[in-house]
Amino acid sequence: CQVCGWIPHCRHCDVSLTYHKLTNKLHCHYCGTTYPLVHLCEACGSHQFAQRNFGTEKIEEQLEEIFPDAKVARMDIDSIRGKKAHDNLIQLFEQNRIDILVGTQMVVKGLDFELVNLVGILDADSLLSFADFRVNERAFQLMEQVSGRAGRKDGEGTVLIQVANTRHPVLQFVQQHSYLSFFNEEIPGRQRYFYPPFSRLIMVTFKHKLKETVLQASEKFSAAMLGRFAKYMVGPAEPVVNRVRNQYLMELLFKLPKDTQLISECKKSIFQQIAILHNEKTFRSVVVIPDVDVV
């Protein structure tokens, strides 16, 4: 909303909605629910709305306007339905029947295009801002992989990266194509905060339709694990997106030394406490999901 800043959110998830031109609807990328376009602000009653950010559809549309003689195609989850459609698009690009290919990260993962001489990465800041200890590693991997798509056979290519924070160290390492420099920069922080490769992670996720119930269940579970594993525990806490498909979420993280016996003991205790928790009527319907070596 241009007046008060209200943004349409999914009724089932704690996330904002995304406009898809193909369907002319608002989509939730977590539960898949679609909604008609909003013309009235639920907060202030205004009719003044503006689109923010951009997606592959918008980029494709603008490229077609800027380069009217070029054949532009899009590769994302909406435009590619099934392996056949995916393979057909790749074949057209390899045959030079497509000049510009716009897409999400699926464009570069596992694909080996020839004769590509320009690659652009839009909004690279978003790659570097996730709340995850692997954010720098994943951003470096993706940008280095994208960089390798340009200039494979006909000499050097060009890689353009759109970013606000031009001094971010990851960008410097990508420019230098220096895996070792990135490693030397990243590894001390991993060691200091006891993240892999210096530890093993176990994430326990709690889900329930009632926020208070999932909070109580996670706290009770956590209290039961404190005696033996207190110094390895982080949380319980709400994740960044704390409601998906009408289920509220809480997470409890274990950062364990690489001790086989200790890890085995922790896993055994987790399953025991899940069973104990589910014996209580109040928490019987709470879904508890342990994830070892969470990615």
- Confidence at residue 164, expressed as pLDDT on a 0 to 100 scale: 85
- Confidence at residue 49, expressed as pLDDT on a 0 to 100 scale: 85
10-residue stretch averages of pLDDT, the chain, 295 residues long: 89 89 86 91 88 77 92 77 74 85 75 76 83 89 77 69 88 90 94 94 96 96 93 93 93 95 95 95 95 85
Domain spanning 56-191: CATH superfamily: P-loop containing nucleotide triphosphate hydrolases (3.40.50.300)
- Confidence at residue 67, expressed as pLDDT on a 0 to 100 scale: 94
- Confidence at residue 291, expressed as pLDDT on a 0 to 100 scale: 94
Q: How distant is the alpha carbon of residue 226 from its chain centre?
A: 31
| Topology agreement, domain 56-191 and domain 200-292 | no
Domain 200-292 classified CATH 1.10.3720.10? no
Domain boundaries, the chain: 1-52, 56-191, 200-292
* Measured distance CA(117)–CA(113) in Å, rounded: 10
pLDDT digits (tens, 9 = 90+) for 122-165: 888 888 877 789 999 999 988 888 776 665 555 677 888 888 88
- Confidence at residue 264, expressed as pLDDT on a 0 to 100 scale: 95
* Measured distance CA(207)–CA(215) in Å, rounded: 9
What does 149-172 look like in DSSP terms, one character per residue? Answer: TSSSSSS--EEEE--S-TT-HHHH
